[in-house]
A and B are shown apart, each in its own frame.
Chain A
Amino acid sequence: MTTVRRKIIVDRDRCTGCQLCEIECSFLHEGGFQPDAARIRIQAREGGRSPLPLLCLHCESQECAFVCPTGARWKEVETGQVVFQEDKCVHCKMCLLSCPHAGPIDLHEEERLLVCDFCGGEPACVEACPKGALSIKDLRPIQNVLSETEDLISPGLGACQGCTAEWTIRFTVQVLGPNTVVGVPPCCMGGIVGFGTNTGAKIPVVFTLLPNSASMMAGVKHHFLRQERDVHVVAFAGDGGTADIGLQSLSAAAERGDNIIYICYDNEAYMNTGIQRSGTTPLGCWTATTPLGKEGRGKKQKSKDLPLIMLMHGLPYMATVCPSYPEDYLAKLEKAKQVKDGLVYIHILTPCPTGWQFPTEKSVEVGRLAVETNYFPLWEAVDGNVRFTKPIKFPKPIEAFTRMTGRHKHLTRREISTLQKVVDTRHQRLVALSKSTKKGGEICVSNGVATKGSG
């Protein structure tokens, strides 16, 4: 028996109603192509909406198992599946009344009940679906998923306490696997994964220069392409090395379509050299070069919206990530691994206890608040189509985020409301982009208005 806890996930928007899943399912279980006798049902919908696949979701609430009077249904703790023992069933219809997902299918003429049995681990409907409306999700906790792979960064490295960037590179390399080369310019991580001729990683690390991380790693990728080896080539640079000094080489690599994964871990200042302001330092923020005093009220300028700059390059895949949401990052990295025809850009907000001035145990909390206040919305874009991965229905006021960190402590109410306006405008722009590019086509901006177009 497999001990994997997995689940079939239905993406409602993708179903076209082709019924291939029904055909495949009935062929496997009943030995004939009878869509009516399948354990999955494609329900047509009124008003031109896409059809709805209905099947047993093997849910946690397991109402059917609680009401079944014969004990024909129960939840397997090991596999997470709701098992149905057909010879015990007397067709009393109690489960039909209590299932909230319309999972069991009633063949009332034959007095039979059809329930998804997960095909013993490899559901045929998922394989049959040509549009990806059905997919399988791993339900195990993320630590169980990752415990199977090796941690490729050595323990005991010299990052500050509570550093989220250190966690980020550890996690990234662990997910991407040993078949990876990482390029790191001079930045915090330069000191962590290696220094001089020493390296703290169990994979090859290339120390690039600040302006050329993207182009240098593109060269490394070309080397492997010529050798016909499929290697993940990752550039792991800070915000200074990306938004300020390295921007031209990144932009050029994106335009050329070099197949590297460019990860910008954004701690919103040059932390490694002593917390100097960078292009992504937010408005009103204290840094060593934007001090507080009689005149100084922190940084006077707004930050660069780097993810949007990269979005306009029309990359095959890009995403924003916060280490407080590791499941979200894992899913995005898995998608990034699949891309073979262009540059992947991942922008990670890494709260920095030293530079942002907050207690070291609050790193995860600060990251969460950045997302919950819409200061740093989590989204991804496939071919320029923006989709929110953690939409926040009721965003918290930005003050919830700024009062956590010492770098923002000095802000007056008026300054906070200015920052709030910046956050709101940027979020509204993203929402407009996500609405304007639903299906197909790249984003094309004409007269400052994002519209749907062919490029």
Chain B
Amino acid sequence: MASEAILNLSLYPKKSVRDMKKEEHIVIIGNSGAAINAVKGIRQVNAGCSITLLSLEPHNAYSPVLTTYLIAGKITRNQMALVDEAFYHYHRVERRYKQRAISLSATDQKVFLEDGTAIRYDKVLIATGAFPNLLDCDLPVGLPVFTLRTMEDAEKIQSSISNWRNAIFAGAGLISIQIANALRTYLERMIFIVGSDQILSQNLDNRASSLIQRRIEAEGGTFLLNRKIIRVEESPEGVVAHTDRGEAITGNALVVGKGVRPNIPKFVPEGIVEVGRGIRVDRRMRTSAESIFAAGDVCEAKDLISGKYRLISNWPNACFEGLVAGQNMGGGEAFFEGSLAMNATSVFGLSFASIGEVRDYSGEERETSFYLDESRGIYKKWVFQDDRIIGAILLGDIGENAFVAEIIRRQLPISREKKALMGYPSNAASILCGLL
């Protein structure tokens, strides 16, 4: 059993008499990657404290990464579990499910719940994650419009799949493309209404996205770029989406996959906790308020490459942020190296990975080199800043992603390898692996 193996209480420091007198109480709000890894982190350094975990959802932790696999039928609901019952038992976590925290008093160090009870904390972790962006326009109630974040969302989609033939996707980010990939066997037509001039605009550059776009078009997808949905109405088939160019597109369902935004709880005390696009945290995952920590998609940590605050929501970052937060809350000292944008997946039989800064957000010109083999569907792009790699796109053949992620993470100077990469961008594995 996984959790038994991870946790061996004999390895953890024994309770000292001083700990017994004043037992610390840690409250974790949220129950997913960051929260679970925070529990692991706390217990790595502190066996004595008590942990209370608050969650809105009625079940044990699972990963939102797996929701598209659930829709595709690759896994069952039971297999979604990130950890099992034994994990909470062994880590001595008191769970309070279906509990919403409504307010938090930083001076009294208390969290107030919806049912009127108050929980005193010594340290609190806000790991409430993110929720999906919705359409800008108003939506009439009762339409078959779906988003995907939670297990319930996935089950809603699953239960109505049987009468889907044409589906409209608002946005062509990772979520939309992955849902489309999961449903490709059911769907006859997939229409993507995309706000920007390319698909996967958060992850890829236009060369890579056009390769993927062509692959999806061959599988029955249609892309309407540079359009916005301004109105959604009911139709006999399902829904009609009106775009700002005057088109009316009908489909059985509308799936909104426009990325996520941090689920910053309303109770976060304004003025005390610094909030940018997410809750801002330092390298030890502390917010600007004392004994309040944040981790996961809800927080905004400093970017590994630029060193500036940047909102990056992905699963590996959330896990490591949670671990660091847990170790610091438990009394240890751990540092998060900085969040790094990275993603790797395969859709429509095409694998791709994008790591680091692959697009010019700051507008400054970057040195890049790329290799494109359209017949084999292979594309590799390297982005440099001075003598460091700061970003990479791999498409078709993603063997190198194992090295690249680590090289970017360590910020290794690679002046010699850079020359080789500029010359032979396709032969990256043999050039880069020596750096490890």
- CB of A70 closer than 8 Å to a CB of B: yes
Could you tell me the distance between the alpha carbons of A92 and B79 in the complex, rounded to whole angstroms?
Answer: 14
B83 cross-chain contacts in A, Cβ below 8 A: 71
User: What residue in chain B is nearest A52 (Cβ atoms)?
Assistant: B433
- CB of B390 closer than 8 Å to a CB of A: no
- CB of A158 closer than 8 Å to a CB of B: no
From A75, A76, A97, A103, contact of B344 by CB (8 A)? A97
- CB of A300 closer than 8 Å to a CB of B: no
Q: How far is the CB of B74 from chain A (nearest CB, A)?
A: 6
- CB of A94 closer than 8 Å to a CB of B: yes
- CB of B66 closer than 8 Å to a CB of A: yes
Taken residue by residue from 348 to 379, chain B's Cβ proximity to chain A (1 for < 8 Å, 0 otherwise) reads as 00010101000000000000000000000000
Secondary structure of the A contact surface, majority rule: loop
Taken residue by residue from 403 to 414, chain B's Cβ proximity to chain A (1 for < 8 Å, 0 otherwise) reads as 101100100000
B75 cross-chain contacts in A, Cβ below 8 A: 70, 90
A75 cross-chain contacts in B, Cβ below 8 A: 5-6
- Counting chain B residues whose Cβ lies within 8 A of the other chain, the interface size class is 35 or more
Segment touching B, from A61-69, A125-133, A283-291, A446-454: A61-69
User: What residue in chain B is nearest A99 (Cβ atoms)?
Assistant: B402
Q: Most chain-A Cβ atoms within 10 A of its Cβ — which of B74, B79, B343?
A: B79
Could you tell me the distance between the alpha carbons of A97 and B6 in the complex, rounded to whole angstroms?
Answer: 21
Segment touching A, from B19-27, B118-126, B263-271, B315-323: B315-323
- CB of A421 closer than 8 Å to a CB of B: no
Taken residue by residue from 133 to 152, chain B's Cβ proximity to chain A (1 for < 8 Å, 0 otherwise) reads as 00000000000000000000
Q: How far is the CB of A65 from chain B (nearest CB, A)?
A: 7
B8→A77 contact, CB < 8 A: yes
Q: Most chain-B Cβ atoms within 10 A of its Cβ — which of A52, A88, A100?
A: A100
Taken residue by residue from 56 to 92, chain A's Cβ proximity to chain B (1 for < 8 Å, 0 otherwise) reads as 0000000101110111001111100001000010111
A97→B401 contact, CB < 8 A: yes
- CB of A222 closer than 8 Å to a CB of B: no
From A100, A103, A104, contact of B409 by CB (8 A)? A100
Q: How far is the CB of B2 from chain A (nearest CB, A)?
A: 5
A77 cross-chain contacts in B, Cβ below 8 A: 5-6, 8, 11
Could you tell me the distance between the alpha carbons of A43 and B355 in the complex, rounded to whole angstroms?
Answer: 21
B316→A67 contact, CB < 8 A: yes
B81 cross-chain contacts in A, Cβ below 8 A: 71
Could you tell me the distance between the alpha carbons of A71 and B62 in the complex, rounded to whole angstroms?
Answer: 10
Q: Which of A307-341 contact B (CB under 8 A)?
A: none
B6 cross-chain contacts in A, Cβ below 8 A: 65, 74-75, 77
User: What residue in chain B is nearest A65 (Cβ atoms)?
Assistant: B6
Q: Which of A95-132 contact B (CB under 8 A)?
A: 96-104, 106, 108, 111
User: What residue in chain A is nearest B318 (Cβ atoms)?
Assistant: A67
- CB of B398 closer than 8 Å to a CB of A: yes
B66→A70 contact, CB < 8 A: yes
A69-B66, A97-B342 as given contacts; A106 in contact with B79, CB under 8 Å: no
Q: How far is the CB of A103 from chain B (nearest CB, A)?
A: 8
From A44, A66, A76, contact of B40 by CB (8 A)? A66
Q: Which of A167-220 contact B (CB under 8 A)?
A: none
B2 cross-chain contacts in A, Cβ below 8 A: 71, 74
- CB of A46 closer than 8 Å to a CB of B: yes
From B40, B66, B315, B398, contact of A106 by CB (8 A)? B398
A6 cross-chain contacts in B, Cβ below 8 A: none
A49→B345 contact, CB < 8 A: no
Query: How many residues of chain A are within 8 Å of chain B by beta carbon?
Result: 38
From B323, B402, B429, contact of A96 by CB (8 A)? B402
- CB of A54 closer than 8 Å to a CB of B: yes
B351→A108 contact, CB < 8 A: yes
- CB of A362 closer than 8 Å to a CB of B: no
B402→A92 contact, CB < 8 A: no
Q: How far is the CB of A399 from chain B (nearest CB, A)?
A: 32
- CB of A226 closer than 8 Å to a CB of B: no
Could you tell me the distance between the alpha carbons of A405 and B221 in the complex, rounded to whole angstroms?
Answer: 80
Q: How far is the CB of B390 from chain A (nearest CB, A)?
A: 16
Q: How far is the CB of B121 from chain A (nearest CB, A)?
A: 24
B406→A102 contact, CB < 8 A: yes
Could you tell me the distance between the alpha carbons of A75 and B6 in the complex, rounded to whole angstroms?
Answer: 6
A90→B5 contact, CB < 8 A: no
- CB of B112 closer than 8 Å to a CB of A: no
Could you tell me the distance between the alpha carbons of A231 and B66 in the complex, rounded to whole angstroms?
Answer: 62
- Can you list 22 A-B contacts with CB-CB less than 8 angstroms, sorted by A residue number? A45-B430, A45-B433, A45-B434, A49-B434, A63-B320, A66-B40, A66-B319, A70-B66, A70-B75, A71-B82, A74-B5, A76-B5, A77-B8, A90-B74, A92-B66, A92-B345, A93-B345, A93-B401, A97-B355, A100-B406, A100-B409, A106-B399
- List 18 additional contacts besides A70-B63, A71-B82, A96-B401; criterion CB under 8 Å: A46-B427, A52-B434, A66-B37, A67-B316, A69-B33, A69-B66, A70-B82, A74-B6, A77-B8, A90-B66, A90-B69, A93-B353, A97-B405, A100-B406, A101-B406, A104-B402, A106-B398, A111-B346
What are the nearest 4 A-B pairs in CB distance?
A: A69-B63, A102-B402, A93-B344, A77-B8
Residues of B within 8 A of A (CB): 2, 5-6, 8, 11, 33, 37, 40, 62-63, 65-66, 69, 74-75, 79-84, 315-316, 319-320, 323, 342-346, 351, 353, 355, 398-399, 401-403, 405-406, 409, 420, 427, 429-431, 433-434, 436
Residues of A within 8 A of B (CB): 43-46, 49, 52, 54, 63, 65-67, 69-71, 74-78, 83, 88, 90-94, 96-104, 106, 108, 111
